[in-house]
Structure 1
Amino acid sequence: MSTRAVDRGRLGRAGTGAGWVLLAGPLSVAALGPLLNRISGRSTTPGGVPLQPAAPGLPLGTDILGRDLLATTLAGGTTVVALTLAALLLAYAVAVPIGLVVAARGRLVEGLAIGLLDVVLALPSLLVLMVLAATGRRGVVWLVVAVALVQLPYIVRLVRGAAAAPATLATVETMTMVGEPWWRVRLVETGRRVLPPTLVDASTRVTGIVGLLSTANFLGVGLDPSVVDWAVGIEQNTTALFLRPATVLVPVGFLVALCAGLTLLADGRSPR
């Protein structure tokens, strides 16, 4: 094995380790934060002194609404992770079967399907959110559906390309020749072979989904302002950035760690 290959392997392992470390923080807070608030008796109710600096009992001070910043930080990750997972799962649940069917049904079906998806692909992501805002379609369900819709054409193209890879096609031809049923060849076996690139793509796509969910709050189509959420907190405390930087930088730090950790893990799984 060459020195360059060894160095690449070490860098890959180091990146993967760093990815897990970065990812552990936000995921742990999202999973355990609400429980820690209940155990410690911390409340996310507004009404305290706004933008109070760190003090005994308030390690991070308060935000612009007078809420305990540590309490809102501990409670704010649950919705971010839940909505990101919901949008991600919905996008792949719809796109993967479409991609497999498109790859199996010939050039005519492929051309029609990809043509329709290209229309969605041509729409800027912000435009989709602005349409929601203009039509009054607000709420968690609409937001998740819109974010998943934006991801759809990219995932379908990825799955179609992976299903058309030479190794996959060779396996499909062999199974077809021995009489395997269509659904088992085109859906089960091909689906198994497109799984690795799909998983890598999913881990990198989280960054875009988190960005869209955060942007939605600035456009007024995100979560209700009363919801304790990292992205909502960033939007609410933007005007206090220079007075109390922690009110913005703390939730931003968790979102950056979440996205950077997943990106490093995806890079470590990518072929070199």
Structure 2
Amino acid sequence: MALFIGLLWLALAIAVAMGAGLVFRQGAVAVAPRGVAKELRTAPMTASFGMMIIVIYIIVAVFAPLIAPFGETEIVGREYEPWSEVNLLGTDNLGRDMLSRMIYAARNTVGIAFLTTALAFIIGSVLGLLAAIMGGWLDQILSRTVDVLMAIPALIFALLLLTIVGTSIVNMIIIIALIDSTRVFRLARAVAMNIVVMDYVEAAKLRGESLWRLITREILPNAMAPLVAEFGLRFCFVFLMISALSFLGLGMPPSTADWGSMVKDNATLITFGDITPLLPAGAIALLTVSVNFVVDWQLHRASGLKE
């Protein structure tokens, strides 16, 4: 009986999520430019739901000071107070409002993850495209260096480097970006290697086009689809790594709201049947799944496959 009720609630939640995604897609089609609206009409329900969640997270991150009832580090009561009308999700281990901390964490965690992913893509894509175009000793040096770095587990490598250089937001962004850029390098190089042998690239070389114009005019536009899809996947991995490092105490500073550290700081409540520590973990999982829904749709579009 309990299993049946659980499945019923799950089916209801899925139906509500898909309905909300459909409403969001219709609204987006109504306000989007004609070209974008045409693409949105073909989006599956999962992608529509994913885009809706991403937009909600962005709105919460941008307007966090206006939405949060209290400040990010403001102590509003005793530690571990239960849910109430004043503190809707109770307080944490220092007496700070959990709801406010979760809202500010959307800005901190998601914003830093996006910045880190963008930096990783700039480094990895530029080096990967250069390796594919130039070849020779440059390709060999970069490829072998990336092979060595990728042989080390990413989380362990990040923990080691953060222990050496010290924990700070800047150090964390640089270290994770450098580690993750190796994955981007491999993809960018593999995609570019298939493009540089095309006739139009050879013709551009014979015309005397500069290296910059070869990359920006001939190679990058044709490699954009897999790189954009990879950006979404890498964002998820970076997002999860930042949360994992914060959970282990080597990520965000203690005063900075972050979903990973919030799970660690309030984990003791689980032993008393309080689900509050699971809410930051749920926020991490929901964004990860939503981004993957959108990435799957983009990969399907880029593959040229039809339903």
1:70 aligns with 2:99: yes
Q: CA deviation at 1:265?
A: 0.5
Tell me the residue number matched to 1:13: 44
Matched, 1:258 2:268: no
Asked if structure 1 preserves the Cα contact closer than 8 Å seen for 2:87 and 2:97, the reply is yes
TM-score normalized by the length of structure 2: 0.78
Residue 63 of structure 2 aligns to a residue in which SS?
Answer: helix
- Higher mean C-alpha deviation, range 57-66 or range 176-185: 176-185
SS of 1:247's equivalent in the other structure is coil
What code does the residue aligned with 2:52 have?
A: V
Q: Which deviates more, 41-50 or 206-215?
A: 41-50
Match of 2:210 in 1: 181
Partner of 2:74: helix, strand, or coil? Answer: coil
RMSD, matched Cα: 2.4
Aligned mates of 2:224, 2:93 — CA distance in 1: 45
1:269 aligns with 2:282: no
Structure 2 Cα separation of the partners of residues 125 and 223 of structure 1: 18
State the one-letter code of the partner of 1:89.
A
Q: How does 1:94-133 map to 2 (within 5 A)?
A: 94-133=123-162
Paired AA for residue 36 in structure 1: I
Whole-angstrom CA distance in 2 between matches of 1:32 and 1:85: 17
> Runs of 4+ in structure 1 displaced over 4 angstroms?
9-12, 40-44
| Shift in Å, 1:107 | 3.9
Quote the residue 2:61 is aligned against. Answer: 30
Per mean C-alpha deviation after superposition, the further-off stretch among 20-29 and 250-259 is 20-29
Matches within 5 A, 1:226-241: 226-241=255-270
Find out whether 1:223 has 2:252 as its counterpart: yes
Q: What secondary structure is seen at the aligned counterpart in 2 of 1:165?
A: helix
Q: Within 5 Å, which residues of 2 pair with 1:72-87?
A: 72-87=101-116
Aligned-partner SS, 2:94: coil
Partners of 1:56 and 1:187 lie apart in 2 by 55
Distance 1:85 1:168, change over 3 A: farther
* Maintained 8 Å contact 1:26/1:254: no
Distance 1:44 1:244, change over 3 A: farther
Work out the CA distance in 2 between the residues paired with 1:168 and 1:239. 58
Matched residue type, 1:61: G
Letter in 2 for 1:14: M
Determine the C-alpha separation between the residues in 2 that align with 1:259 and 1:218: 17
Does the CA contact (< 8 Å) of 1:25 and 1:257 recur in 2? no
Contact 1:132 1:221 in 2 (8 A): no
Structure 1 counterpart of 2:13: none
Q: Aligned-pair distance for 1:171? A: 2.1
Give a deviation string over 1:80-117, Cα, whole Å, max 9, x none. Answer: 02210121111111111111110011244322210111
Give the counterpart letter for 2:49 in structure 1.
A
1:166 CA displacement: 5.0
| TM-score, reference length from structure 1 | 0.87
Gapped regions of structure 1 (runs ≥ 5): 1-8
Note if contact 1:47-1:65 (Cα within 8 Å) is conserved in structure 2.
no
Q: Deviation digits for residues 95-151 of structure 1, max 9, x if unmatched?
A: 111111100112443222101111111111122222134325211111011111111
Measure how far apart 1:25 and its partner are: 3.2
Classify 1:128/1:41 alpha carbon distance in 2 versus 1 (closer, same or farther; 3 Å): closer
1 or 2 for the larger relative contact order (CA 8 Å, sep ≥6)? 1
Contiguous gaps of at least 5 residues in structure 2: 1-39
The count of corresponding residues between Structure 1 and Structure 2 is: 262
1:6 is matched with which residue?
none
